[in-house]
Amino acid sequence: MKRTCHRYNAGVEILLTLGLGIGLASVAGVRAFLPLALSALFAAIGVFDLPASGIAVNEWALFGGLAGLSILEIVLDKIRAVERVFNWVMVPVRAASGALVFGLASAAGFAVDAAPYLIAGAVIAGAVAVFKVVLRPSARDASSGVSTSFLSLIEDAVGLVGGLIGIFVPLLPAALVAFLLFFYARIRKRRGRKFGGLRILGD
């Protein structure tokens, strides 16, 4: 009986870890530094402890640095001249962030045993980052009827809300990110129908 309970608890813990990791990695694919900054903030106020890395790190200093990078990322994403190139450049950075937050969500931290979690986090965040760039209308495309600055603000909200609740509610941040990508896909589909109709009329 004890063995059954132990297996049950271990299974629940694994599912919880996967849910938290998937949610946080998804958010990292949208905003690389926000989930890391919020994780550092939660560690600084004592909600949880960061995995031991052998390097003494002040949580408040870590939070300050990551918060600064978060603000820089948010600002650069709203500059029309660089936003698309910037988001392509950020794909590997967001993939690395996804690996880190998945490692934080796992009990293994950043040890050798955490390799599957790190790889999974990198794949999830990298895929989200690529889909975000491909699906989001560019600054040169005004046909969507929605400005890229407004879309960037939505991404800020998804990154902030997802990072806040991702520590406590598994998978819900992934649902927010999925809805964001679905929204972008709908915009592209509507735009494609519009231009398709114009081409037919032009012929």
pTM listed for this prediction: 0.84
Q: Let me know how long the chain is.
A: 203
To which residue do tokens 């709908």 refer? 186
The 8-class DSSP code of residue 47 comes to S
CA-to-CA distance for 46 and 82, rounded, in angstroms? 38
Supply the pLDDT for residue 2. 42
Q: Pseudo-torsion of CA 53, 127, 106, 42, nearest 10°?
A: 70
Q: Is 9 exposed, middle or buried (0-12, 13-18, 19+ CB in 10 A)?
A: exposed
To which residue do tokens 């003494």 refer? 56
Is the pLDDT at 197 greater than 50? The verdict is no
Three-state secondary structure string covering 76-93: HCCCCCCHHHHHHHHHHH
Beta-carbon contacts of 180 under 8 Å, excluding residues fewer than 6 positions away, are 30, 132, 154, 155, 158
CA-to-CA distance for 134 and 83, rounded, in angstroms? 13
- Residue 105 tokens, joined: 């969500």
Distances (CA, A) of 112 to 10, 26, 103, 117: 20, 23, 11, 10
Is the pLDDT at 173 greater than 90? The verdict is yes
Please write the tens of the pLDDT for every residue from 152-164.
999 999 999 999 9
Task: Assign 166 a pLDDT band (cuts: 50, 70, 90).
Answer: confident
The 8-class DSSP code of residue 203 comes to -
The 8-class DSSP code of residue 111 comes to S
Please write the tens of the pLDDT for every residue from 96-152.
999 999 988 876 555 667 788 999 999 999 999 999 999 998 766 555 556 888 899
Please write the tens of the pLDDT for every residue from 23-50.
999 999 999 999 999 988 988 888 777 6
What residue segments make up the domains of the chain, in order of their start?
2-202
Supply the pLDDT for residue 56. 53
